Amino acid sequence: MTRPSRLPRLFRRTVLASALAAPLIRPARAQGRVRVVMVGGGWGGLSAARHVRKAIDGAEVTLIEPNRAFFSCPLSIHYIVGERRAESLTFPFDGLIRDGVQHVAERAQTIDRKARVVVTETHRIAYDFLVLSPGIEYMEEEIPGFTEAQGAIPVGFRAFEQQAVRRALEAHPGGDIVLSVPPVPYRCPIAPYERAALIAQWMDRRAMPGKVILLDQNPAIPIGGPTIETAFRELYPARLEHHKGVKIVHIDAEKKRIETDKGVLTFGTASLIPPMRAGSIVRTAGLGERWANATFPTFVSAADDRIYIIGDAVGSTLPKSGHLAYETGVLVADHIADRVAGRTGQDGDALPSAICFAFFTSDEAMRVKIEARWNDLTRDIERRAEIDSRRSRNAAQAAREWSEAIWAELVG
């Protein structure tokens, strides 16, 4: 059942390698098939679904996800600025269904943890193990006026929202384009800077008057600052203004006016990213407040040992990255397989790694790679970062290869 991995060597040696090479495991439940349910069909949930099917013979795997296809946020900026077609980032779940995963195209409304049942609008789905990867939601209330303005200022940091951002850009009436960076932690720390750069390039190519104004709520760029600042300075000196430590206190979409703690500005087009928190099912199920509480290195919920929480919803110092969500899906599939087979023992200290790319022009990018391990003595996550000191064409090529390979693993 294990097919050869098409992932680049770069990350094959991490969690992924051992998991894909692991022997298939006999079903441990003598009297029935083990039922594993995933909530969320993004990077984490798809990975977990596929790998549980591989790791446990005869496992009954159900994916609860309202969308009928996957849309990749990585590389979506190229779609927003008109360089890629939506189809090149959109993948139906056919491969997964062929692998034997059942798809329920609804939202999980609640989890009855006592009965071990996930409740959707029309189903009650029983589980032996549950993997939650619901991603993030926006804390709209943190930007007064945002909810009222939402139709006019789409965010585009979740799958399928990018279409609205592209439409807003195409309808840009002139003037400045105001973008923002929320306070950490948020999804893909270098992505808002990529967006600013490629929209600046988009304006340059059209010789439009006006600027990109990036309002950054952080006092410093969270990661890769020197590379990002050099790119901004060298490529867009007169086009892109980056203001750090600025909090948006109100937006009025009708008057096209943003009030900040440092002053007021007007815009032609805006796309603001509010602060983020875990998808609401985490709170509904009592598994955390802003973020889900997980234990490491297993990603078992701190509140319920039959539930795993993976991806961006987890509260930790690990970066919120699709690659990391993917590798965590592999890791928890392996962990569930071990439990089903009655294999217990040391969990080791390996944690999944993260890889994020940011483009600064259509064909130059930077890469950030973070490897992590769990220190059982300090009960803390240790991180080691490798950050490109300069943008390059090689990193852009690596980004394209990485995404093709990982999409094939998730939904091929």
Question: Residues interacting with ligand FAD, by CB under 6 A?
Answer: 39-45, 64-67, 73-74, 76-77, 107-108, 133-135, 157-159, 187-188, 191, 279, 281, 311-313, 320-323, 325, 355-357
Nearer to ligand FAD, 49 or 159 (CB): 159
Q: Least Å distance between CB 400 and ligand FAD?
A: 11
Q: Least Å distance between CB 131 and ligand FAD?
A: 10
Between CA 195 and CA 191 the distance in angstroms is 6
Q: Least Å distance between CB 250 and ligand FAD?
A: 25
Amino acid at 390: R
Half-sphere exposure of 18 (CA within 13 A, CB side): 13
Nearer to ligand FAD, 145 or 279 (CB): 279
Residue of minimal Cβ distance to ligand FAD: 42
Nearer to ligand FAD, 53 or 320 (CB): 320
Q: Least Å distance between CB 371 and ligand FAD?
A: 13
Amino acid at 242: H
Q: Least Å distance between CB 194 and ligand FAD?
A: 7
- At CA 270, angle to CA 243 and CA 272, rounded to 5? 65
Amino acid at 185: P
Q: Least Å distance between CB 257 and ligand FAD?
A: 26
Nearer to ligand FAD, 89 or 340 (CB): 89
Sign of CA dihedral 318, 320, 326, 330: positive
- At CA 114, angle to CA 295 and CA 109, rounded to 5? 85
Nearer to ligand FAD, 108 or 212 (CB): 108
Q: What secondary structure letter does DSSP report for 56?
A: B
Whether omega before 185 lies within 30 degrees of 0, making that bond cis, reads yes
Between CA 401 and CA 176 the distance in angstroms is 34
Nearer to ligand FAD, 337 or 395 (CB): 395
Burial class (CB in 10 A: 0-12, 13-18, 19+), 272: buried
